[in-house]
Amino acid sequence: MKLQGKVALVTGAGRGIGRAIAQAFVDNGASVVANDRDSIAVEKTAALCGAGCKFVPADISILENHELLVKKAVDEFGALDILVNNAGIQFHEKFLDARECNWDLTVGVNLKGPFFLAQCSARQMVQQKSGGIILNIASIHDSVALLDRSIYSITKGGVKMMTRSLAFELAEYGIRVNAISPGAISTDMNRQVLTNQQRLHRVLEKIPLKRIGSPEEIAGAAVFLASPEASYVTGATLYVDGGILTH
Ligand code: NAI
């Protein structure tokens, strides 16, 4: 029970990595507010997680929603100790065809939303005077470019720098800020790769461990970084990628 008594907010928790993190946090003794813009999906997450999980459907790219999310944690569970900025989107689009609307949407969900939700959450944590944890889900594409997804890669590079910047500024309040950068994980975001044998083979060739990761393997890293075991870790990005970035 590494997170006993802690209260966490997890965005994009309606499926995939976010749902696995919500489940792992509850399994480790935390109370969780699960968020997603998909109300049916996030209600299902809460049902799967049980009594320790409440849900709030909301689009995190709309800044007006942030206070509502933090308030839900405080009203339901009395505090907010951990924020997981997990919600993310991507568009497949060549740079030469890139459209402003896709820039605005991707930056809104992957970077601007997480930045201001971190601000709103950190204000609550500072007020509580008992430290806190902010965990950002970036991507290996914070460091290596992904073909035809330049906007996505740019936002994830921004998330990595956001992690360092906030870790630096919030250290004096005992708030640790870290990121996890997953490699190829079996979620809906990767459906096109997972269902195409040729593309899957090409991806597996790049992964030293020779398999796709599971959402639970990202959740395990999230539990570690949110727990006291990681008490001296801040400003770090943990690559959970089966070794893709080794070569
Ligand atoms: P997913 O597409 O399976 O799930 C993302 C969830 O976020 C969905 O339930 C969606 O409804 C929700 N969401 C999207 N926009 C939202 C918004 N504006 N407000 C609230 N919720 C919103 O994605 P997956 O794979 O679980 O990814 C989670 C995070 O991990 C993302 O940030 C993604 O970029 C990152 N990641 C995923 C990798 C993978 O291989 N699956 C690899 C590297 C990073």
Express each pLDDT in 81-124 by its tens digit.
999 999 999 999 999 999 999 999 999 999 999 999 999 999 99
Ligand 1 centroid to Cα of residue 124, in Å, is 25
Digit-by-digit pLDDT tens for the chain (247 residues) are 999 999 999 999 999 999 999 999 999 999 999 999 999 999 999 999 999 999 999 999 999 999 999 999 999 999 999 999 999 999 999 999 999 999 999 999 999 999 999 999 999 999 999 999 999 999 999 999 999 999 999 999 999 999 999 999 999 999 999 999 999 999 999 999 999 999 999 999 999 999 999 999 999 999 999 999 999 999 999 999 999 999 9
In a domain, 2, yes or no: no
* pLDDT tens-digit series, residues 178-203: 999 999 999 999 999 999 999 999 99
**What local confidence, expressed as pLDDT, does residue 182 receive?**
98
Residue pair 233/222 in contact (Cβ under 8 Å)? The answer is: no
Q: Which residues form the domain of 208?
A: 7-246
Residue 221 Cβ inside 6 Å of ligand 1? The answer reads no
Atom 19 of ligand 1: nearest residue by CA position: 59
Q: In testing the pocket of ligand 1, which one of 19, 23, 37 has its CB within 8 Å of the most ligand atoms?
A: 37
**What local confidence, expressed as pLDDT, does residue 16 receive?**
98
In a domain, 161, yes or no: yes
Task: Tell me how far apart the alpha carbons of residues 190 and 195 are, in angstroms, rounded to a whole number.
Answer: 9
> Any catalytic annotation for residue 139?
yes
Other beta carbons within 10 angstroms of residue 83's beta carbon come to 30
In a domain, 141, yes or no: yes
**What local confidence, expressed as pLDDT, does residue 104 receive?**
98
The backbone torsions φ and ψ at residue 65, rounded to the nearest 5 degrees and listed phi first, read -80, -15
In a domain, 1, yes or no: no
Task: Tell me how far apart the alpha carbons of residues 7 and 52 are, in angstroms, rounded to a whole number.
Answer: 10
Residue pair 170/177 in contact (Cβ under 8 Å)? The answer is: yes
Task: Tell me how far apart the alpha carbons of residues 213 and 183 are, in angstroms, rounded to a whole number.
Answer: 7
> Any catalytic annotation for residue 232?
no
Pick the atom of ligand 1 nearest to 213's CA. 40
> Any catalytic annotation for residue 112?
no
User: If you compute the radius of gyration of the chain from its CA atoms, what whole number of angstroms results?
Assistant: 17
Ligand 1 centroid to Cα of residue 129, in Å, is 31
**What local confidence, expressed as pLDDT, does residue 84 receive?**
99
Q: In testing the pocket of ligand 1, which one of 180, 187, 191, 206 has its CB within 8 Å of the most ligand atoms?
A: 187
Residue 76 Cβ inside 6 Å of ligand 1? The answer reads no
Q: Select which of 31, 61, 121, 139 is catalytic.
A: 139
In a domain, 17, yes or no: yes
Residue 191 Cβ inside 6 Å of ligand 1? The answer reads no
Residue 79 Cβ inside 6 Å of ligand 1? The answer reads no
Nearest CA among 119, 33, 36 for reference residue 72: 33
* CATH code for the domain of 139: 3.40.50.720
Rounded alpha-carbon distances, angstroms, from residue 40 to 37, 54, 68, 103, 204: 9, 13, 19, 27, 33
In a domain, 121, yes or no: yes
Nearest CA among 7, 133, 10, 29 for reference residue 80: 7
In a domain, 226, yes or no: yes
In a domain, 193, yes or no: yes
Q: Select which of 54, 72, 156, 227 is catalytic.
A: 156
Q: Please report, as a single letter, which amino acid is at residue 178.
A: N
Q: Select which of 150, 152, 181, 239 is catalytic.
A: 152
Residue 61 Cβ inside 6 Å of ligand 1? The answer reads yes
Residue 117 Cβ inside 6 Å of ligand 1? The answer reads no
Task: Tell me how far apart the alpha carbons of residues 89 and 151 are, in angstroms, rounded to a whole number.
Answer: 10
**What local confidence, expressed as pLDDT, does residue 132 receive?**
98
**What local confidence, expressed as pLDDT, does residue 11 receive?**
99
Number of domains in the chain: 1
Only one residue has tokens 């997972």, namely 194
